[in-house]
Amino acid sequence: MKHTHLLASALTLATLSAQLWAHSANEAAPKTDSGWKQRQELLNQRAAEAGSKAQVLFIGDSITQGWEGAGKTAWAKYYAHRNAVNLGIGGDRTQHVLWRLENGNLKGLKPKAAVVMIGTNNSNAEDNTVDQIAAGVGAIVQKLRTALPETTVLLIPIFPRGENPNPQRGKIQQVNQILQKWVDGQKVQWVDFGHKFITAEGVIPGSLMPDFLHLSEAGYQVWAESLEPQLSAVLGDTAIRADSAGAPTSAASLSGEWTLTMPGPNSDPVDLALTLKQDGNRLMGSVPRVGGGGVLELVDGKVEGTKFSWVIHRTREGGGKMSYRMSGEVKDGQLKGKTETEMDGNPISNEWTAKRK
């Protein structure tokens, strides 16, 4: 029965595109402006770098691309440690996403989940009809099911737009009603939380959508929290709770002031003020020199889930330089790491810990 149900769903998607005549929403087409081309090349590069490590893809337009802007804090908390890949380009319509999926965005990727939210730009004025937009989204889902048969598609209905109820919202809702009929609950799942962006009076608050289309930081938090139960189930990992209690520590949680405890010159414990600042997977910061005399900057700082690393360069008294490679993992809200260096050709390794101030 299960295989029959999945086959029927796949046939429904294929039939939907075939039954409707070819039109702008379901015919793959690129954009021609240089900015779009550069972004497309960047996404292809991301896909190549992530390869089989990527567990999650986010596919869409400017609202998806916005995970790199207003949504970066939520992204760092929920998706960085899952090696998620953002495949969003501002202004894209279904046909542009189709072209990208056929021209490098999926190369080398084998994710467990693909989060799809696309179609709002097709809904402007008379650009496309309801059934055309639905067919365009259906073509994207079909493309993903064909190219990535082991990937579960988490289909998100097009978000509502416009401060107050309006005809475009109605058009979008009709598209979503069609889209919901295609899910099979297995390899194509429905994740509907658009109602959370609308008040009981039918108004979209500016705190969630400042321009009543694109999300604020709070809006991306709504997205992340709403998606998490189904996403974590598909990935088979621990669901991240909104308050972070009991959740894996992500890159975002490393920012702040820490007390670093490490062996001093005489092997006695020394406490130092460690400052960390996280930006995506990049980690920056500084620590005072042991014995005073300024601060030492962290370079090449990186965060991958709960693991981190950086390098500190120090000029020795009397000349010469030393490099300290520090790496470790977040455990129980603390940093536990190891410092490796060389002195006069001899390797030295010390363990250290850090607690939040």
Per DSSP bridges, beta strands 152-155 and 188-190 are: parallel
Give me the catalytic one of 96, 123, 214, 216: 214
Distance separating alpha carbons of residues 46 and 150, to the nearest angstrom:
20
Catalytic residue among 33, 127, 192, 211: 211
User: Is 211 among the residues known to form the active site?
Assistant: yes
- Count the Cβ atoms, other than its own, within 10 Å of residue 87: 27
The enclosing H or E element of 336 equals: strand 334-343
Q: Residue with structure tokens 């949504």? A: 71
Backbone angles phi, psi at 90, to 5 degrees: -60, 135
Q: How many other C-beta atoms can be found within 10 angstroms of the C-beta atom of residue 146?
A: 12
User: Which of the following is catalytic: 62, 226, 244, 309?
Assistant: 62
Select from 59, 72, 147, 154 the least CA-distant residue to 107: 147
**Residue 164 buriedness (CB in 10 A; 0-12 / 13-18 / 19+):** exposed
Task: Kindly report the backbone phi and psi dihedral angles of residue 14, in degrees, each rounded to the nearest multiple of 5, phi listed first.
Answer: -65, -40
Closest CA to 356 of 330, 337, 327, 326: 330
Measured between alpha carbons, how far is 277 from 275 in angstroms, rounded to an integer? 7
What is the sign of the dihedral through the CA atoms of 258, 259, 261 and 262? Answer: positive
CA gap 96, 121 in Å, rounded: 11
CA atoms within 13 A on the CB side of 120: 22
309 has catalytic annotation: no
Amino acid letter for position 14: A
> So which residues are the catalytic ones?
62, 211, 214
